[in-house]
Amino acid sequence: MSTQAQLEALIPLAVALVLSGLIGLDRQWKQSPAGVRTHMMVGIGSALVMVMAKGLYDDNSAARLAANVITGIGFLGAGVIIRRDDRVHELTTASSLWFVAMVGLVAGARLYVLATGATVMGVLVLSVLRWLTRRMPRTATRRIAAPGQDDQA
């Protein structure tokens, strides 16, 4: 790739930086273990893989590299998930990491409108739905008895 082409290839990385940073800000405000820096790094890294793949390889190879990003980020997300007692924590953080990786791939493919639209939807899901669910009435949880036990605890 020429120097000019490499300089132009920085544009999708910058787009991925900004868009993944928006998602990361939400997680930072929520005091999640994976905050803005982690989300930005995942988004930029994904965009970098896609830019490199599209610039150096054919479409089949680019698709294979993208598939490997999707698989690899799943392992990163799985490492974020925490189980304490009977509750699972950080599923939203794991899914947001996966999401910014996809935004990075889309930005790396230079589909800026799609990447921006998806980011807006992601921000809405994280912020607006959090606000709405906090205002929903809580349903009483019922303790489920183990087999052979009376459920009148």
Element (H, E) at 14: helix 3-29
Residue 121 lies in a domain: yes
Residue 19 lies in a domain: yes
Residue 75 lies in a domain: yes
- Residue 44 in 3-state DSSP? helix
DSSP 153: -
Q: pTM of the full predicted structure?
A: 0.77
Residue 126 lies in a domain: yes
Residue 59 lies in a domain: yes
Beta strands in the chain (DSSP E): 82-84, 87-89
**Domain count of the fold of the chain:** 1
Residue 108 lies in a domain: yes
Task: Pick 76 or 37 by higher pLDDT.
Answer: 37
Question: Please, what is the angle between helix 36-56 and helix 3-29, to 10°?
Answer: 150
Residue 145 lies in a domain: no
pLDDT of residue 138: 65
- Contacts of residue 46, defined as CB under 8 A and 6 or more positions apart, other chains included, come to 16, 69, 73, 100, 101, 102, 103, 104, 105, 108
Residue 56 lies in a domain: yes
Segment 82-90 mean pLDDT = 74
Residue 11, domain extent: 3-134
The rounded mean pLDDT for the chain is 83
